[in-house]
Structure 1
Amino acid sequence: MSAFSAFPAFAAKNVARVSVAGGIAATTLLLLAGPASAHVSVQPQGEAAKGGYATINFKVPNERDDASTTKVEVNFPAEHPLASVMPQPVSGWKVDVTKSKLAEPLKMHGSTITEAVSKVTWTATGGRTGPGIASGEFQQFPLSVGQLPEDTDQLLFKTLQTYDNKDVVRWIEAPKEGEEEPESPAPVLKLTAATDDEHGGAADSATAGAAGAASKQDGAQDGAKSGDTKSETASASGSDTTARVLGIAGIVVGAAGVTFGILAGRRRTA
């Protein structure tokens, strides 16, 4: 066999080796990237504005191949307590809301709040697809929360994810700006700047609009009254002028009559 005839077989073997090596490298990268991207996260529906209310979703993926997630515990930040937390029902899950006494009472809508939510726990009860979050799936847990703080840009929720094999993953590490993401980062809710249409703003706007409309109506009525008064004044003034003209005309006619009578008398005498 010549060197030229053996070259295709040699090249084919090398290509196969490169392909196998590339596949192993790609698989390794996917395995390394999988756990880092499959952490618990929280996102608002729309925006979470400071000082307002928002609906937020905790997204919990299952990162195990041989176990299902059966319990999720979300701890609320004690330094920024939230007095109002309402969970949306999730099929196949039981939810428990835990409240704790506050070190310092909160003022909200004219009321004093002495306790706030410290933890929300979802526990799998079973369903059509089986208990909990199966391998390769994720589940969202919605909450309506408020009133959001105005003195911070984010809220950190330390979360525990429990599997049916009793393993517990603690998503409790705080991400730091400018640094790599930690191995088990806690869910972080980013807050946006406060707006004018937060809770209660619509009522204030409606009240202001009604007051403005009433003010315009009163102004229109006052204008109508003023116009009527001016019309009456103009009418009275016109009547007075007419009377004066007629009076003067009568005097002139009378004087002319007297003069005519005197002249007529003189002619008869002559």
Structure 2
Amino acid sequence: MTSDIANYLYLDGTIVKEEIIGVGGAGIVVNQGGYAFKIPRISKLSEIDGVPVHDRILDHNEDNYNELAVAIMSFKHEKAIYKRLGDHPGIIRCYNVDSEEPSIQMPLMNGDLRQHLGEIRLKRSRQLFWLLQLARTMAFAHTKRVIICDFRLDNIVYDDDMNIRLIDFSESSLMHLEWDLKGCDKYGFSILTDIGQFGAVMFEIITGQHSSGGSDDLASTGNTSVNKRGMAGFYYREMLDQGICIGWGS
């Protein structure tokens, strides 16, 4: 059985030596100069069974150049979505949205909600505040004709003041501005799939447990077992009681 060691690379082929704070399907996020930089996820073997592999910069004739081309297209797509969404308190800011460079420069955040919820139990007031924030942000994205498609705790980050923001729109769909919010994109995603994913996020924030999607699952809160559908309904009613109007419309 062979043992391989790979390094992540910048576009010029040099090895990423900065702190890596996130790894996704198309990109990695590094801590660079006080900012979080998302760059294409390009890797290269550096060692096989303890034997160093000759290190050289990326060659356009190599197979991994195709990987690079796909990554660059993905970044252009994601930047177009950030540009459409603009500046919103519930969405991470992309500082270099007008740059042609395949990178996304963002403020450094403290972590994502999946990590945070694994370490601490939230007060109900904080849960409700975050759910309202997320619902409003999702509704805003829909008014901009963006389907989020990948709404999950890993893609929600928080800052020092415990404000949360959505990140990573690489899987999102940019619909025509004339879209009437009906139907779905070419992959089958719609505002209804976003709302369904939001329901799973709601369950995880309320219970601290990972949602498996089964309607009969029970969520244990203290010494009481509560049906998760009932808990979600309780929070939804409480949002309505506070006079919150989440309007999906034009």
Question: What's the TM-score once normalised by structure 2's chain length?
Answer: 0.22
Whose helix proportion is higher, 1 or 2?
1
Higher relative contact order (CA 8 A, sep 6+): 1
Question: What's the TM-score once normalised by structure 1's chain length?
Answer: 0.21
